[in-house]
Structure 1
Amino acid sequence: MRAATTEVVPVRIRPLSGVRKFGVQGVRASAWTVIGAACAQIVTAGFGLFALERLPIGEASSLDAHRLLGYASEVVGVVLVVLLIVGRPAGRAVGAGLALFLAMLVQPVLQKHGTGIPLLGALHAANALVMVALAWLTVRVTTAQLREAASVEAASALFAKSGR
């Protein structure tokens, strides 16, 4: 029978590099931006729908602000993908981020064809809710990964300080 040893075997878990940490933080910031833009989209859509009667015929559409903000949000989606490549976050974060990007790509298509096919117009609003849920999931998983990376960095510093 062998006696139990108390020897500590160091495990090499690499902390996130500066560039990867920046990328993961950027993914989280992009997801927060999508959530904020979605809230602004709701406000501008509501304003546009209720302001329709006040705008004279021939003037700009009251939904122009909503549309412009939607197209600006697409830029956030492209930035999100670039940051996913740079940060190379954990699997769930990549899945949530890519699903969010795909939902963002579908959104203008639903809007464009929603005037001719009302069901697609309804799906435009439902897809916005899906986008918010995916953005929230992305925020949660990237935050968890950043916390884990911070604890690994702290443990590494403590281990190095102990001289083992």
Structure 2
Amino acid sequence: MSAATTEVVPARLRPLTEVRKFGIRGVRTSAWTVIGAACAQIVTAGFGLFALEQLPIGEASSLDPHRMLGYASEVVGVILVVLLIVGRPTGRAVGTGLGLFLAMLVQPVLQKHGAGIPVLGALHAANALVMIALAWLTVRITTAQLREAASVEASSALFAASGR
């Protein structure tokens, strides 16, 4: 590229490597997984609360599926951070992704202390909504970045084919 070309095409519009695209797609998939898991968490919590009369509260309670799904979701958070490192998406995607990870880390703490401090129990539910919102933003931002990268690649291919 000549000096004039680099002035016209900003650095952020350079084509992404396949590894970065893989990482960004993985971030998006992880965010979708969090959304799906959060929705399943809402269903299992509702079932657990309405099944209290039928199942015992204690070690084997009606909220066990909700808890187990929550702990499994933490693994998705770790994978998300690894994929953020690999994909190196835009700053906004990194911000929402790390915010999502932090919200996921806080969730079990709120749950653990929610029984003794009801306000923390209420924040557990509110934090779930924050997680869904951050995951949705992460999906939108990474999708836009992947579309932009595809557009840059298509433009680069047309430019190369034109022989200029």
Aligned partner of 1:99 in structure 2 is 99
Is 2:66 aligned against 1:71? no
After superposition, the C-alpha distances for 1:126-158 in whole angstroms (9 at most, x for unaligned) are: 000000000000000000000000000000000
More helix by share: 2
The alpha carbon displacement at 1:57 in A equals 6.2
CA distance in 2, matches of 1:30, 1:46: 24
Which range moved further: 48-57 or 67-76?
48-57
Which stretches of structure 1, 4 residues or more, deviate above 3 A after TM superposition? 56-59
Aligned partner of 2:84 in structure 1 is 84
After superposition, the C-alpha distances for 1:34-83 in whole angstroms (9 at most, x for unaligned) are: 00000000000000001110014667100000000000000000000000
CA distance in 1, matches of 2:160, 2:73: 44
Report the TM-score when normalising by structure 2.
0.92
Is 2:5 aligned against 1:10? yes
After superposition, the C-alpha distances for 1:80-120 in whole angstroms (9 at most, x for unaligned) are: 00000000000100000000000000000000000000000
Which range moved further: 80-89 or 11-20?
11-20
**Residue 14 of structure 1 aligns to which amino acid in structure 2?**
R
CA distance in 2, matches of 1:149, 1:94: 17
Aligned partner of 1:34 in structure 2 is 34
CA spacing shift, 1:26–1:44, aligned 2, 3 Å: same
Aligned partner of 2:128 in structure 1 is 128
CA distance in 2, matches of 1:51, 1:78: 32
CA distance in 1, matches of 2:72, 2:15: 34
Aligned partner of 1:118 in structure 2 is 118
Is the CA contact (8 Å cut-off) linking 2:23 and 2:84 kept in structure 1? yes
The count of corresponding residues between Structure 1 and Structure 2 is 156
Instruction: Determine what percentage of the aligned residue pairs are the same residue.
Output: 85
CA distance in 2, matches of 1:102, 1:59: 28
CA distance in 2, matches of 1:44, 1:79: 23
Aligned partner of 2:157 in structure 1 is 157
User: Unaligned stretches of 5+ in structure 2?
Assistant: none
CA distance in 1, matches of 2:57, 2:121: 23
Report the TM-score when normalising by structure 1.
0.92
Query: Which protein has the larger Cα radius of gyration, Structure 1 or Structure 2?
Result: 1
Which range moved further: 52-61 or 92-101?
52-61
Secondary structure in 1 aligned to 2:5?
A: coil
CA distance in 1, matches of 2:150, 2:60: 50
Q: CA RMSD in A?
A: 1.2
Which range moved further: 12-21 or 62-71?
12-21
